[in-house]
Structures are given as C-alpha cells and as structure tokens.
Chains A and B, each alone.
Chain A
C-alpha cells in the first residue's frame, strides 16, 4: 500500500517535471513597471548623491578659496604691523637722558635708514636712533627747540620713497612676500581634460520602427578627452579650441552571438547577417559569427535564420547576449568661456560648437574579457557637428596652474548616420576634469 502511495508521488513528480504552461500575455506588462519603478529611486538617489557631492565640493572649494584669500590679506597686514612696530616705538619709548646731537638723524634720513638698514647704518644703531627720536613728542621737541633742532624736519613728513620700498631687503625682518620676481600669467592657457560620457538621443517616439529598435539599445558609458588651448580676450572672456578624442557606444541587447559558424557555411564577399540599429545597419564582416535576435524584434536579417540553422544543435560556441556598437571621433571644438565668478575658484559658462571626424566604427561581441569583431555600421556620416553648453569650475592652485571641473551637455546637430531615422538627434552628457597651465 505504501509503495503504491509512493508510486503516485513519482507519477506526479515525473509527469510534471518538464511541463510548461504559458502564462497570460499581460503578466510581464504588470511586472516591468513595478521593477522599473523600484529602480528609478535608486537612479534618482545616485544622481542626487552625485549632485550633492559636486555641490559640496564646489561650496567647500569656494569657502576654501575665500579663506585662503583672507589669510593672505591678514598675513600681509600682520607683516606690515610688525614692520611698523619700530614706528610705534617712535612715540612710546622714553627719552634717554643724554642724546648726542651726532646720533640724531633727521626724520627724512631716518626713513631712509629704516629702508636701507644694511647698506647704510648698522641695525642696532638704527634702532637706537629711532628710539631716540620716537621718545620725543613732536610738540615737545618743537617747543623746546634746544637740544634737538628739528628745524625743517618734521616727523609727519616721514615719506617712504616707493622706489626704496621696492628695494627692501629680507634682512629687514619684514618678511613681506617677495613680489618682485612674480610674473603675471599671460593670456594663453593649455588644458588637458578627460570625461566619462553618457550618450543617448532625442527621437520621434511616434515612429514605431524607431521605438522598437530604441527599446533594444542601451547606452554604454563612454569617454572623451584631449588637449585645449585657450586665449584670454579680456578679464572675463576667453576663446578655446583643441583636439579631443571621444569614444561613444551602444549595447544592442538581446542579440546572441556565436562563433564557429565558418565551419558550417562559408560565404565570400557578401555579409552573412544584417542587424538593424537606430544608427543604421550593421553588416557582419566576420564570417565565423552567427547572430540571432532573442527578442523576436526581427532585427537580424539573414538567409541563415533559426528555422534554417540551429546554433545549439550545430554546437557553435556561445559568446555574448548582446553586441557593442562603438564609434570614435576626433573632435575639433571652438568654445567661448565667460567667467561669471573670478575668485580662487572661478565659475565659467562655456558654450560652443564642434566638428567631429569619425575615425573608428566597429561592432563587436565581448568574449571572456576580450573583443571579437563582428563588423561595422554602414552609412555613417564622416563629419558631424555638435553644440555644447557647460559650466566650468576652475580652482586656481597657483598663479599658473588650475584644476578644472566642467559638466557639459552636447547636442549633435546632425545624426551619426545619413540613413538614420528622421528627427533623431544624439546628445551626450559628461563631466570633464583636468588641469590647466597658464602662460
């Protein structure tokens, strides 16, 4: 009896083992919005966190720059105070009982002695001399007019000769910064900048074919970097140009790639597969590759579809579940920078246009850390134009060097492909960071 009962368990276990029932069509439509909604706060949180970090760094740098500026000012004031101390002593010290007339130096001469202490008079003597004079109130001395005949000399007439002041020596212990050799930076500057870039596109959502393809494509994080030369027209305005290299790309999801197809079919000349993308068609150049669209979006066109050839049965090597479409450009931007805030941390508004020369066009599948070339996208424009708008933060670490942070939005005036869908305009967002040298 127990065996029979255990037998019924096996009947159900084995009978239902590989049984599948298709769920109602609309279940996925109810699942996807929920998981998307749960992902969105995470994305928003990340954006908010990045914004908060950038803002915090900006505020911190701004405050730091203010503190540094005020410290420099205070330092200078302190140094000046120290240098004035002997002058204070001029009025506060007591008069010695006997003051030799020979020791007395006319006021104008005192000033000269102070600023030429080493060359003319020994410091100790000078101090004595200064104290001697300082001990006398002006009125007293003028009234007495006996021991000290100031005559035409007047303490109020102490007059620092700017030329002498500039020649002040470190041995005076004034410790004021030596500005004599400091050279104001010139109007030119050269910058090295690099940025991770997020690329997407504005498109006509009513275009069903475009929307279908767009749904299957994911933007990849790309990068852009290069050198820029800038000329300062005036205090606030400068013009900049340079050479940048940028690499942008898309992930074509849901397209399975297999290798080993060349053992089964060999074609010469014509590509085996065409893949439809929003940037135009990709044609395979590697005849060893087999492609199939898992998403049923009919993006892969070929004589060797799944009805004709089964890659699993043919034991082809599975490579990846998506293809990567990559474009590289050499960019020649011309931008104008307007300095809104001119402090240790400068804020600039940056705008301009760029001509972009296509230098690399490839489609590949990722394979165990490597790349397997699949083919290239046909019909791409060799030259495209883009406009850019950004905000630049420039922290001056010295009079010549500065660190730059420039969040920049770029909008492509013409699409990458001349056979692309109408009304499709790529855009990108990147945060350039780098260093500038002014000369």
Chain B
C-alpha cells in the first residue's frame, strides 16, 4: 500500500491558489459564451453548450468570498451524475500530494476548505467539493 496519495487539480481563483480532488474533474475547457439565467442565484453565471449538453456554470468565488475578474477557463466536474462547470481564473496543473501533506485548515479558512497544502512557497486551499456542491444543490445561497 505505502502512503496514500491524492491527485489535486490546482487552479487560480482571484489571486489565490485552490485545489480540487481530481476524482471529480472530468475535463478543463474554455467557455467562450454562456447564457445568463435570470432569477438565478449569484453564484450561477449561466448555462452553456458543452457538445450538445447544457451545463450550468458556477462562480464559486461568490461562495468562498473571493474577489476575481473572471475568465473563460472552466473546470468540468462530474458530481452525483450531474455535469457542472466551475469558472476559474487559470488552471495551474495536477499535484500529487501525500495525505500527511494536507494540513487541517485554520478556523478562519471557512467551512468549504477541507485542508491546506503547502507547496513550495505557496499555500493551496483544498476545496471541500462535496460540501460546496451540496450546499449549492440545497440552494443555501439563493
């Protein structure tokens, strides 16, 4: 067995580095256009056409309270049989981290941070994907 490793997709949101467990990630795409959804919550940017499938595009910076300019980069997640797009500012790459490298998050990091990874000089916040998406699903932010 050896040590337990997880693969993390690292991306940029505003000027912060974030990570998401690669097991949720289906692909990374550029979303050139999307259609705004009136009456939807703030964190819903809109819907877009992903090869014939209509996919919702989320801006999780609203949930994590991060300021950002926005870009056309998006991570496509597969969660609970649903395909979800998450808008990010840049996709950095995939990081392999041992379990012991994931530090418990400080209290002030907020409830959607599962852990903190120190990589070289930088800190990466590991997103609690399930918690975040479940909260969105239950529309706690509506």
Q: Tell whether A pairs with B.
A: no
Residues of A within 8 A of B (CB): none
